[in-house]
Structure 1
Amino acid sequence: MARSTFPRDRFDDLPDATGRIGAHRAEPTRLRGWIVFLWAAIATLVLIIAGIFGTLVLSGRISLGADDASAPTFSASPTTPAVIDTSYTVVVLNGTAEDGLAASLREQVIAAGWADDTVETGNSDTTDFAQTTVYYLRDTDRAAAEGLAQTIGGAQIAQSDFLQPTDDPNTPDDESDVKRLVVVIGLDRAPGSTPAATAP
């Protein structure tokens, strides 16, 4: 060791220290980092759950009350009220192989108030139509279709342009304005038959 050229002072008489001098920090372990990350993840998850729960409570989707008034209630969706509207012409088609169904249903419709000359009958292109259906054209025709379906009983309704009149450009009248309901009789009205199709 090189000799010091500085003059001696009172610190030169101190004994040499043994061991470490100063602060020595241990190298952080990887496990401690994972613990911090885990706690942060848990805290984040708790905050998210609390936020979702609070939002549901404030929006009324969750009620903290225990009485019966807090139980969820269900209401049926509003439907178009059925009306018997005899201003519509009615076409009755037999969608089965059973003879006489169209004529019988025609008499039922006339008995409900339709004029004799406003109800026509015929045969569908198929003989295995499944469910008796009342077809209507416009949204405004739905109530009348519901009324006719209830009149004949057990029929469903469907919106379609099936057999609906179209305007003839060679005539002054607009034939598409004619209000018409089309009934296709299904195998549900034919004794001993098995429904197999759903299109007229």
Structure 2
Amino acid sequence: MARSTFPRDRFDDLSTDSGRVGAHRAENPGLRGWMVFLWAAVLTVVLIAVGIFGTLVASGRISLGGDESIAQPTPTPTVAGVVDTSFSVVVLNGTGQDGLATQLRDQIVAAGWSGDTVVTGDSDSTDFAMTTVYYVRPEDEAAALGLAQAIGGAEIAQNDFLQPADDPNTPDDEAQTRQLVVVIGLDRVPAAPAA
């Protein structure tokens, strides 16, 4: 090796068998792999949580708005029953028990209906479950409920079941046929006496 012409300094006096001199040593790489894995695991959990939360917000299952965004249940309007004796009433016995239609007719007449506007008959079915008052138009619901209350309670349902056909030539502003149909159910059959 060629001699240098530089002046001598303290580095020229170091022994050659001391290993690497002046080299920068890296950190111990043993812990470095675990730190990378730990940070990757934490980041994965955070990304999954953000994804789930974002999906719930996008689907509307979670709302970010204030209290005004919470849907308040709307109260359902209740109809009060009105005894309207201007309706004609058809009473049909939907059970196999004889005489129930006549008994219920007498009860309806006692509640204020005229005897000639309440007629009786038998239903095609003899196993009708619950006594039901049927009405046709939505505005007849109060009258149906009033009749159901007058006979001691019954279900009501909107249906054109056995309703008379109105004359198509009758103008809408004139009175159409107003009729309620009561089908007596097995809930009105008296219990058999115990033996």
Fold-level similarity (TM above 0.5): yes
Aligned to 1:8: 5
Q: 1:53 to 1:136 in 2, by over 3 A?
A: closer
Q: Which residue of 2 aligns with 1:66?
A: none
Mapped to 1, the partners of 2:126 and 2:36 lie a distance apart of 77
Matched, 1:18 2:26: no
Q: Is the 8 A contact 1:167 1:174 kept in 2?
A: no
Partner of 1:153: 152
- 1:71-122 deviation line (CA, Å, top 9, x unaligned): xxx9985421111111211110000111111111111111111122211111
One-letter code aligned to 1:112: A
Contact between 1:137 and 1:164, CA under 8 Å: does it hold in 2? yes
Equivalent residue of 2:129, what SS? coil
Q: What are structure 2's unaligned runs of at least 5 residues?
A: 54-60
Please report the RMSD computed on the Cα atoms of aligned residues, expressed in angstroms: 3.9
2:166–2:177: 8 Å Cα contact kept in structure 1?
A: no
Secondary structure of the 1:117 match is helix
Q: Is 1:32 the counterpart of 2:35 in the alignment?
A: yes
Give the CA deviation at 1:44: 8.3
Q: CA, structure 1 residues 53+164, in 2 after alignment: closer, same or farther (shift >3 Å)?
A: closer
- Supply the AA of the counterpart residue of 2:83: I
Q: Which residue identity does 2:92 align to in structure 1? A: L
Q: 2:67 maps to which residue?
A: 59
CA distance in 1, matches of 2:109, 2:185: 20
**Size of the alignment, in residue pairs?**
171
TM-score under structure 1 length normalisation:
0.68
Residue aligning to 2:170: 173
Distance 2:80 2:40 in 1: 62
SS in 2 for 1:91: strand
TM-score, scaled relative to structure 2: 0.69
- In structure 1, stretches of 5+ residues that fail to align are 62-73, 194-200
